[in-house]
Structure 1
Amino acid sequence: MNAAFLPEPPQSPAAKAAYEDDLASDGYVNNLTRVWCWRPDVLMSFQNTRAELLSESTLSSREVAVLGAVTAATRGDSYCSLAWGARLAGMSDEETAAGVLRGDEADLSERETALADWSRRVVTDPNATTEADTRRLREAGLSDRPPPRGT
């Protein structure tokens, strides 16, 4: 069922590949993929950019899921909250994911909690973030720069 406001995009090899990727990873075709497939070239560019940004990141997949879930929940985005919450539940458990979506980080590591708090602050009021916010991230083991290549 397509719950997006747009009809199915035109079929193309790129759209078919995107649908197959969703089916393989999630078991269904995400609504956002249906929308992106109106411009599969832009979807591919976005995916490549995201992969490049994360390629040298020290963030784990679970930490990325925490950031996605907190960001979506703070914004009040139920679709993305459900998607990121489900992804986080698969990497932890349902209770942890539900807690993160509610703003309860009791089951997170110190580093994950620092990321969740920072994400919530940036989403709520990015202009109110301070040096203390970034200092907390550094104290939790995060860095402004990726490690040098080859280390």
Structure 2
Amino acid sequence: MSYIRTVEPSEATGEVAELYAEDLEDHGYVADYTRVMSMNPEAFRAFEDLMRTITPNLGKRRYELVTLAAAQALHSTHCRLAHGHKCLTFMDVDELERIARDYHDAGLSEAEVAMMEYAEKISTEAHTITESDTARLRDLGFTDREIVDITLAAAARNYFSRAIQALGAAVDVPADVSDRLRGALLAPL
């Protein structure tokens, strides 16, 4: 459990109850990170709204690959598991395991690898990014809008991952994530 006192699902009202109900519908349980972030439901909703403005232009696959790379750089068990689970809606387990273990050697396109490297760099040493980093992405076919959205997706993952880590949210393992997939998602951490 987290370092702060959160609202029990049976006691939730208003916006907190709505957030909990969404988790129950989506996951079958209320994730601890939802309980923690629902202490400020307006900020949680603002984060969700930001993600909804970024994802459509990038597409789910690119968004989730950026998220996996940023989460790896941040050592975020929470986000690697949650977003690894989300990846299963558009890729098979074998591909996800290869990407999770080493995306450089997973059969991804050069553009996808570069995008993930950029997301990692944002998460570990954003101060060293130069025009050559974005030029590489542009040379691989990304538009300036996509480069901005990749940057926003990685930076937003930094915000969310760091917040739930700092607040001590417990790690939830989605029920249909096998031990083997969990091992692959967490191995690079």
Matches within 5 A, 1:43-62: 43-52=44-53, 54=54, 58-62=57-61
- What CA distance in whole angstroms lies between the structure 2 residues aligned with 1:141 and 1:12? 47
Q: Which amino acid aligns with 1:41?
A: E
Matched, 1:89 2:84: no
Q: Counterpart in 2 of 1:149?
A: none
The structure with the largest helix share of the pair is 2
**Aligned length, in residue pairs:** 142
- What CA distance in whole angstroms lies between the structure 2 residues aligned with 1:11 and 1:26? 18
Q: What TM-score comes out, normalization by structure 2 length?
A: 0.65
Identity %: 26
Q: What TM-score comes out, normalization by structure 1 length?
A: 0.79
- What CA distance in whole angstroms lies between the structure 2 residues aligned with 1:127 and 1:110? 24
Matched, 1:11 2:12: yes
Cα RMSD of the aligned pairs, angstroms, is 2.2
- What CA distance in whole angstroms lies between the structure 2 residues aligned with 1:34 and 1:24? 15
- What CA distance in whole angstroms lies between the structure 1 residues aligned with 2:99 and 2:81? 12
Matches within 5 A, 1:89-108: 89-105=88-104, 106-108=106-108
Q: Which amino acid aligns with 2:79?
A: C
Cα distance change of structure 1 residues 4 and 39 upon mapping to structure 2, 3 Å threshold = same
Matches within 5 A, 1:114-133: 114-133=114-133
User: Which sections of structure 1, spanning at least 5 residues, go unmatched?
Assistant: 147-151
